[in-house]
Amino acid sequence: MEFVAESRGGRRARTDCAVAGVHEGGELTAEAADLDRALGRRITRVLRQGDFAGRLGDTLLLPDLGPGPAARVLLAGLGSRKGWSRRSYRRALSAAAPAVLRCGARDALLLLSAGDVPEVDAYYRARYAAELFGQARYQIPALKSGRRPKPPRLDRLRVACAGRADLAAAQRGVLHAAAVVAGASLTRDLANLPANVCTPSHLAGVARALARAHRRIRARILGEPELKRLGMGAFLSVTSGSDEPARLIVLEYRGGKAGSAPVALVGKGVTFDSGGISLKDPPAMDEMKFDMTGAAAVLGTVKALAVLEARINVVGIVPACENMPSGSATKPGDIVTSMSGQTVEVLNTDAEGRLILCDALTYSRRFRPAAVIDIATLTGACVIALGQHHSAIMSNNDALAEQLLAAGRRSADSCWRLPVGEEYFEQLKSNFADFANVAGRDGGASTAASFLWRFVDGLTWAHLDIAGTAYQTGASKGSTGRPVALLVDYLLSRT
């Protein structure tokens, strides 16, 4: 779908569908009122009849309007004027987007984005709009038999801004949104695929395809013999029970100055997590195909940067494998040696993400990164702590943590800081190795991050636990594409 920012208002618009905002009490926004006048007060007549109350999240389509600037108008409820905020703006957009996509319009003009939203500038008004419409247009990869549902007809969204003074910012907003949508769609495609399709080798193939498609990306794939030579015993211990060979995927995006230190993104790529010998309970085990969403987010973020030709250097590192039970699988009580030389007693084979990430974090040192961020569906404890609203962030650097928190607030892809450090690591003491891979239930998310903390000495590091935000369950089961928007926003802020 094409996203365009423009400064024309409702009176001069020519569109298949104009999206106009109405507050509770029938109060039209200035842009909606302008459109209403051009339509001979037809919107006002509908409101007087009591057909639309303007409640936040409600929509009403007015079709067949005849001659005039808009063939249809979608009224979007904005709630009370007093409660108007960034949150309600995004909620109104989220309700309007699927309604527009259902109506059959090929071209839509969004007038909501031209009005004032508290603490949201023209760039983010336009970016939010384009991102939410792009997300609503997403379709899960077709693996069902029979004819694939036709995609929505909408192929162009025109995002209005208040005037020419805002136009440049709005144009930049939709440009960045298009890249985020492209990256998040790749992330969602990969995460939504079944584990018998999206294997470590499949992820490696996607990385090579990105490198072929974008001149600024270079891909390198390391196989198990190379991982053994590197001494990645922790990573290899996870894949030892699987017939699918492990892969370490390295994507270098070179958009910044030659020689400038990159930001390293390390994504957990467990394409299916059975728990290994410490087998998971059967209910919802199918959702463990989403355990590679950290890897998918890295690939999606690199794609978004390449689409934008962003002026930054980034290296994406993805340890990709399966965690399966078999006669050759790692057993509880086994001791493995990580690439750093530290030994780990594996008390629970279902705490595998930290084992593959610790070796990938050690590997990231060879790039002398300015910062390292690992992204992982790491702990159920994070879901208990934060639910599906916030990703968790733990960091050894306050400045980096605040930068990521700020990027989350700006992009509406929020995260919440949790503690990490020595006091949590004390729980991981072992009588037989340098430390164990699990402790008790208390503080599980922080304890897991503190395990990784032992491998990042001297690095500026942050850990994003996306276990609660990476995908939805139940009737809406599927990948959310998070945290691509957050990561892109953070990386663009460094350019």
Provide the annotated active-site residues: 280, 354
20 Cβ contact partners less than 8 Å away, ≥ 6 residues apart: 10, 28, 29, 31, 32, 35, 36, 43, 73, 74, 75, 76, 111, 112
424 Cβ contact partners less than 8 Å away, ≥ 6 residues apart: 443, 446, 447, 449, 450
> Among all chains, which residue has been given the structure tokens 């700006």?
410
Residue type, 171: Q
Asked whether 462 and 397 are in contact (CB, 8 A), the reply is: yes
Q: How many residues does the chain have?
A: 495
State how far Cα 31 lies from the chain centre. Answer: 32
The number of C-alpha atoms within 13 Å of 331 and in the hemisphere containing its C-beta is 4
**φ, ψ for residue 216, nearest 5 deg:** -85, -5
Where in 230-299 does DSSP place strands (E)? Answer: 247-254, 263-267, 269-273
307 Cβ contact partners less than 8 Å away, ≥ 6 residues apart: 178, 179, 182, 183, 214
